[in-house]
Chain A
Amino acid sequence: MSTIDRHIWLRVIRGYALMMAVLLSVFSLMAFVSELDSVGRGTYTLRDAVFNVLLTVPSRMIELAPATAILGSIIGLGELASGHELIAMLALGTSPLRIGLSVTVTGIVLMIAVVGIQEWVAPSTDQIAYTRRIQAISNPEALSTKRGFWSRDGRQFIRVHQVLPGRVLSDVEIYEFDDHDRLRLVTWAAQADPKDSHQWVLLNVVQRTTEAKGVATKHLASLPWAGSLTPAQVELLILPAEILSRAALGRYITFLKATGQDVARLEIRLWQQLTMPLSTLMMVLVAIPFVLGPLRKATAGKRILHGSLVGAAFHLGSHSVAYLGAIMHLNAALTVLSPLAVLGGVTVWVYRRAQ
C-alpha cells in the first residue's frame, strides 16, 4: 500500500463518513417525526419512539449506502481535486486508472461493511424495533398483526387471530377444501401450542366434516396438527419481509412457494438484498469520472448536484423496474440486475468520454 493509496483511502472514507452522518441524521430525524404520530397509541411512549429510531439506524444505513457511496466519493475525491492534489498525483506519474482502483478498494471496504450490517446487525435490530412497536401499540401481552394472520397450505386456508409469546397461536381456524373445491373440513381451536419445531397441538378443538349426508361435529380436547406451517415459520410469517435477513427471506420464499402463494415481490426483495453491495460499489465507480473527467473543474456544488441526480435516478429507476417486475412476474434476477447493467454501461461510456 503506497502513501498515495493511503491518502486517497482516507479522504474517500472521510467523505463516506461525512455523507453518512449528514444523510443519517436528516433521515433519522424524519423517521422520528413520523414515529411521533404513534406516541400515545397503546403504551407506545416517547422513549419507545426514540429507541425505535435508534434501533432502525442500521437498516437506514443500508438504505442510504448507495447514495452515500456516490456522494461520499465525490466529496472525498472532489477535495483532492480542488486542492490540486489529483493534478499533482497525475504529474507524478500516477495513472487515472490507478486512482480509480484505489477508490474502488474503498468502495469494496464499504461494500463489506454493508454486507456485514445487512446480514448480522440490521435484521435483528429491525425485528426488535418492530416487535417492541407492535407489542406497545396493539397489546402488551400479545403479538398480533393488523389483519389477524392468514396463511395457505395447499387446499387449507389457515387463520390465526393472534400469535402469543412463545409461538403459541390463539384462536385458530383451518378451512380445508377437497379436490372438487368443496369444503371438507372446518377446524376451530382455541389455541395451538408448538409440540416441536415441526408440529402443533391444537387445544379445545371443534371439528366439522361436511359429508353428503350432513355435517358431523367432533369436540376434542387436543389434536396433533402438522402441516407446512411449522412453529419455526410462524415468526417469519408475522414479521414484514422488509426486515428479514437474506437467509430467513430465502426460507420464507421456499415455504410460500411450497404452499402455492405468490413470491414475486419477495424474490425481487431477496435479489435486491443480494445485489445491494454491488449497487453500492457501482455507485463508487460512477462517482470517479465526475471528478477525474470533464467535471473536474466543476465546483463541489455542481458535483454534488450531478451525483445526487445520478444516485436518485438510479435508485428510483431500479425500484420502479423492480415494482414492474413484481407486478408482471418477470424473472427476479433479470429485473434486479438489468438496471445495474445499464448503470455499468453508463459508467463505461462516461469513462470513455472523460478520457
Chain B
Amino acid sequence: MLILDRYLTREIAKPLLVFCGGLLLLFANFTAIRYLNRVADGTMPFQSVLPLVLVRTAVALEILLPIALNLSVVVTLGRLYTDSEMSALFGSGISPIRVIRTVIAGSLVVAGIVALLSIYVRPWANGNRYRLERQAVADIDLNDMQPGHFYENSSGTVLFFQLRDQSSGRMQKVFIQSRSEERVRLVWAEEGYYPEPVKAGMGQTLVCSSAQIYEIYRDQGRVRQATSDGLVLEWEKAHAPSEEYRRKAAPTWQLARSDSPKDIAEFQWRLSTPVAAFLMGLLGFPLSRARAREGKYAKLFVSVLCYAIFYNLSIMAKAWVEQEVVKTVPGIWWVHLLLGILVAYLLWRRTTHP
C-alpha cells in the first residue's frame, strides 16, 4: 500500500469510528431510556435492560455503519478539497480514479462487515432480543411493582395496591380482580407478599393475608363471600418461553430455501445491506467535492438526504415484497439498481470533470 492510500484510508477511518461510535452511543442511550421507563413502570426487570440494549444496538449497526461511512468519506474528502490537497494531488498527476480506488477498497471492507452483521449477527441478535423480551415479561417480579399502579398478568388478572411496607417490602391494601365468562372474583387484602424468591421462568405465587374474597356471578345475582388469613394465589404460571417463528431471527440459509414472500423479503434485505453500504461509501466521493471556502460540512445535508431517501425506499420496497405488491423479482433490488445508476453517473462525471 502506498503512502497516499495509507493516508486516505487513515483519514477516512478516523471519522468513520467517531461517527459510528457517536450514532451508536446515541442509539443505545435512547433505547436504554425507553427500557428504563418500562422498568420504572414495573413492567420489566432492571437486569433485562443492558442485554436488550446490546442486542438492539448490534442490529442497528447494519444501518448506522453505511451512513457513518458515507459521512466520513464526504467529510474527509471535503476537507481535502477545501484545504486544496485534492488540487495538489490532481496537479501532481494523481487521477481521481486512484482516489476512487481507495474509497472502493474501504467501502468493500465496510460492506464485508455489514454482510457479516446482516447474515449472521442480525438473526442471532434478533433471536436473543425476542427471547430476552419474552423472559422480561415472564420475570416481572411483584417486588418491582410500584404502589398506586394497576398491573395485569398474562391471564388478565388485575392487581392494585396502595402502599408498600418499607421494612418488609410487602404490599398493603391489595385489590385483585380476575374474571371468567360467568363470574368476577375480587380480593381485597390487608397485605400481599411472595412466599419465596422468584426464579426466572418459574411460576409466581402471591400470599394475601386478612383477605376478603368475593365471587360475583353475572347472571344469577349471587355474591359469594369468604375471608382468609393466608390466601394463596397463583399470580403467574410457570411457562417455558414459546418458540414462535420470527423471520427476523431465522437463520439466513433457512430463509434462502423458503417460498414465502415475507421470508424472501427478509432474505433479500440481508443480502442487500452490504450492497447498500458499498454504494453509500462510493456516493461519498462525488458528494464530497467542495469549493475552497465552502466548508467541509457543506455537502452533509445532501448526503443525509440521499441516505434517508434510499433507506426509506428500501424499507418500503421490503414491505411491498412482503405484501406481494411487488414480485420477488425484482424484489427490493430495484432501489439498489437506481442508487447504483446514480452513483455510476456521478462517478463518471467526477472522473471526466475532476
A32 contact set on B, CB distance < 8 A: 312, 315
Of the listed stretches A243-251, A261-269, A288-296, name the one at the interface; the rest are far from the partner chain. A261-269
B160 CB to nearest A CB, Å: 7
A302 to B14, alpha carbons, bound, how many Å?
A: 9
Alpha-carbon gap, A242 to B184, bound state (A) = 32
Contacts of B15 in A (CB 8 A): 300-301
The answer on a CB contact under 8 Å between A26 and B64 is yes
**Interface pair A25/B307, CB less than 8 Å apart:** yes
Find chain B residues with CB under 8 A from A177 CB. 188
- Asked if A183 and B30 sit within 8 Å, CB to CB, the answer is no
Which A-chain residue is minimally distant from B309 (CB atoms)? A25
In the complex, what residues of B have CB within 8 A of residue A311's CB?
26
Q: How far is the CB of B211 from chain A (nearest CB, A)?
A: 10
The CA-CA distance from A49 to B22 in the complex, in Å, is 27
A21 and B30 in contact, given A150-B150, A182-B212, A323-B37 (Cβ under 8 angstroms): no
Residue A94 CB within 8 A of the other chain? no
| Interface assignment of B177: CB less than 8 Å from any CB of chain A | yes
**Top 4 A-B pairs ranked by shortest CB distance?**
A262-B148, A308-B22, A25-B308, A301-B18
Contact pattern, B 4-40, Cβ under 8 Å of A = 1, otherwise 0: 0000000000110011011101110110110011011
Contact of A18 among B30, B146, B297, B323 (CB under 8 A): B297
Contact assessment for B75 and A18 in the assembled complex, using a CB-CB cutoff below 8 Å: no
Contact indicator B60/A22 (Cβ below 8 Å): no
Any chain A CB within 8 A of the CB of B186? yes
Q: How far is the CB of A230 from chain B (nearest CB, A)?
A: 19
A98 close to B (CB within 8 Å): no
Chain A interface residues (CB < 8 Å from chain B): 18, 21-23, 25-30, 32-33, 36, 39-40, 46, 49-50, 63, 67, 71, 75, 79, 83, 147, 150, 152, 157, 159, 173, 175, 177, 181-183, 186, 188, 208, 210, 215, 217, 242, 256, 260-265, 299-302, 304-305, 308-309, 311-312, 315-316, 319-320, 323, 326-327
Nearest-neighbour CB distance to chain B for A69, whole angstroms, equals: 13
In the assembled complex, the Cα of A277 lies from the Cα of B318 at a distance in Å of 39
Question: Does B255 count as interface, using CB distance less than 8 angstroms?
Answer: no
Interface size class of B (residues with CB under 8 A): 35 or more
A173-B184, A304-B22 are known contacts. Are A316 and B29 too (CB-CB below 8 A)?
A: yes
Query: Chain A residues near B150 (CB, 8 Å)?
Result: 147, 150, 152
Q: How far is the CA of A111 from the CA of B190 in the complex (A)?
A: 49
In the assembled complex, the CB of A182 is this many whole angstroms from the nearest CB of chain B, namely: 6
Stretch from B98-106, B220-228, B282-290, B342-350 at the A interface:
B220-228
| B175 at interface by CB-CB < 8 Å | yes
Q: Are A217 and B221 in contact (CB under 8 A)?
A: yes
Please give the distance in Å from A47's CB to the nearest CB on chain B.
10
A193 to B198, CA, bound (A): 44
By a CB distance below 8 angstroms, the chain B residues around A157 are 160, 175, 177
Separation of A152 and B60 alpha carbons in the complex (Å): 41
* Mask: chain B, 255-290; 1 = CB below 8 Å from A; 0 = not: 000000000000000000000000000000000000
